[in-house]
Amino acid sequence: MFRTDHTDILCQLFMEWSKEEGIEILPIAQAGSDRQYYRLTGQQKQAVGVFSPDKAETLAFMTFTKHFRQIGIAVPEIYASDLDNDCYLISDLGDVSLLEHLEKHRVGGLPSEETCELYRMAIAELPRFQVDAGRNLNYSVCYPAGEFDGRSMRWDLNYFKYYFLRLLKVPFNEAALEDDFDRLVVHLLQSGNHFFMYRDFQARNILVHEGKPWFIDYQGGRRGPLQYDLASLLFQVKASLPYDFREEMLHWYLENLRKYISIDEQKFIEDYYGFVLIRLLQVMGAYGFRGYFERRAHFLQSIPFALENLRWLLANIQLKVELPQLMKALHTLAAMEIEVPKTLEPGTLTVSINSFSFKNGTPPDYSGHGGGYVFDCRALPNPGRYDHYKKFTGLDETVIQYLEKEHSVAKYLQNVQKIIDQSVIEYRKRGFDNLQVNFGCTGGQHRSVYCASKLAAYIEENHSVNVVVAHCELKSKNMLK
């Protein structure tokens, strides 16, 4: 039987709720959060147990769930809770999401009529969340933000800039891009933030249970505009919904929204595609972070689908705001053909090499395995002491020439290579999939960058492994070439 401290607590909650013994508890696969889910089964009853260490997030979930159920929206029932220990039980709505239903029942690559009907049902419920439930909702518990305001939009835009554009080395003018972000935020804020915004209203968060859609993962909800949630669902990347169906569902949503409020439909549609854009940028930022940094296969595999959505948007929609630098970067992205990186190949060792500044701390290990090496480059000659080199990095030829003239640098790297050779050979024998190597110096600009780049080249030449290189300080200072 699977057991940890919190699973013991969940089992105790289940027994108190169900009055049954002989409980089986099995973990349910996680998605992108720190919450842990388990299916608990007794003799007659079944429930889902949740361990959620973020108390603020749990409070939002509990508060929203009780409110939504009071007005009859199809969300899980809370059976029992021990919030001091971050555990609670909810009703088991099964494992079939709307996205899984869509993928399983495609006909000639298109959604089945049954799936289309489930989308219609889900979209008809969306205004109930946004308008009806949003009227008397306790927004004080919203987490991590109370509303989708300019600051929240900025977070999403910077997420895209640093974790997608930068990682894919798409060139852009930083100041001009920031100006475009300013204009886009002002444009989107004109739509108003007066409704409940689900924030992640997508087919993965809609479960098909007893022939109808049920809704989960709304704890990140906040005040916001109407258009964002609809854009999240209809332009969900891996759903690949036909564009004529998306258009049909846009008007179906408006038909249902009219039951709750009066709106200017032409203005709504004009604003809608701006939210399609910012949602797409947020998603690509998440794919970059979860995929390229955390190396999660699902997110990397979704990037080509995201680019398909981007290409359609660029080809078919003219926004009511001028964004020249952003559009230039997006057209560059749209022209790229991105394949799933080699880091996804099963059984292949990935060596993650980072340069960093000791002032800002050692880079985190996103593989979850821990271990690896931290090499201190501060004993090496420092070109950063001289004014001539201060504007350059360890990737520039003038710094490279300076360091390659120093015998101590070559000796240092030879010793590092011997150590890493031994680890790579042994890790491959034992089937390990990750080895992290970090080079630190004072500023993270010259010596550590040079050593990280040299080791990466050495490993690629001498070992059949994947190599991923990140220069932490250069990213933060926008110095990557």
Q: Give domain status of residue 74, yes or no.
A: yes
- pLDDT for the residue 168: 85
Q: Give domain status of residue 450, yes or no.
A: yes
Q: Give domain status of residue 340, yes or no.
A: no
Same-domain pairing of 247 and 377: no
Q: Across residues 150-169, what is the average pLDDT?
A: 92
Same-domain pairing of 323 and 365: no
pLDDT at 105 over 90: yes
- pLDDT for the residue 4: 56
Same-domain pairing of 84 and 106: no
pLDDT digits (tens, 9 = 90+) for 286-313: 988 877 766 666 777 788 999 999 999 9
Same-domain pairing of 356 and 327: no
Q: Report the candidate in 353, 352, 357, 351 with the shortest Cα–Cα distance to residue 446.
A: 357
- pLDDT for the residue 302: 85
Which of 311, 334, 357 terminates a domain? The answer is 334
pLDDT averaged over every residue in the chain: 91
Residue with tokens 């929203």: 64
- Euclidean distance between CA atoms 105 and 115, whole angstroms: 7
Same-domain pairing of 217 and 349: no
Residues forming beta bridges with residue 373, ordered by sequence position: 437
- pLDDT for the residue 91: 97
Q: Model's pTM, two decimal places?
A: 0.71
- pLDDT for the residue 481: 37
Q: Across residues 5-29, what is the average pLDDT?
A: 89
Q: Give domain status of residue 63, yes or no.
A: yes
- pLDDT for the residue 141: 97
Residue with tokens 């169900």: 18
pLDDT at 342 over 50: no
Same-domain pairing of 246 and 329: yes
Same-domain pairing of 467 and 418: yes
Q: Give domain status of residue 279, yes or no.
A: yes
Q: Say which DSSP state 470 is in.
A: E
Count of domains in the chain?
A: 3
pLDDT digits (tens, 9 = 90+) for 181-208: 999 999 999 999 999 999 999 999 999 9
Which of 334, 354, 374 terminates a domain? The answer is 334
Q: Report the candidate in 19, 25, 21, 22 with the shortest Cα–Cα distance to residue 7.
A: 25
Same-domain pairing of 81 and 49: yes
**% the chain with pLDDT above 90:** 75
- pLDDT for the residue 33: 65
- pLDDT for the residue 340: 58
pLDDT digits (tens, 9 = 90+) for 387-430: 999 999 999 999 999 999 999 999 999 999 999 999 999 898 88
Q: Across residues 24-47, what is the average pLDDT?
A: 85
Which of 90, 120, 145 terminates a domain? The answer is 90
Same-domain pairing of 105 and 199: yes
DSSP secondary structure letters along 157-219: HHHHIIIIITTTT----HHHHHHHHHHHHHHHHTT---EEE-S--SGGGEEEETTEEEE---T
pLDDT at 365 over 80: no
pLDDT at 31 over 80: no
Q: Give domain status of residue 339, yes or no.
A: no
Same-domain pairing of 369 and 439: yes
Q: Across residues 111-138, what is the average pLDDT?
A: 97
Whether the CB-CB separation of 231 and 126 falls below 8 Å is answered with no
pLDDT at 346 over 60: no
Same-domain pairing of 19 and 63: yes
Same-domain pairing of 64 and 117: no
pLDDT at 380 over 90: yes
- CATH code at position 217: 3.90.1200.10
Q: Report the candidate in 96, 114, 109 with the shortest Cα–Cα distance to residue 241.
A: 109
Q: Across residues 222-230, what is the average pLDDT?
A: 97
- CATH code at position 49: 3.30.200.20
The whole domain housing 291 covers 98-334
Whether the CB-CB separation of 7 and 23 falls below 8 Å is answered with no
- Euclidean distance between CA atoms 86 and 434, whole angstroms: 31
pLDDT digits (tens, 9 = 90+) for 427-448: 988 888 889 999 999 999 999 9
- pLDDT for the residue 1: 40
pLDDT at 232 over 70: yes
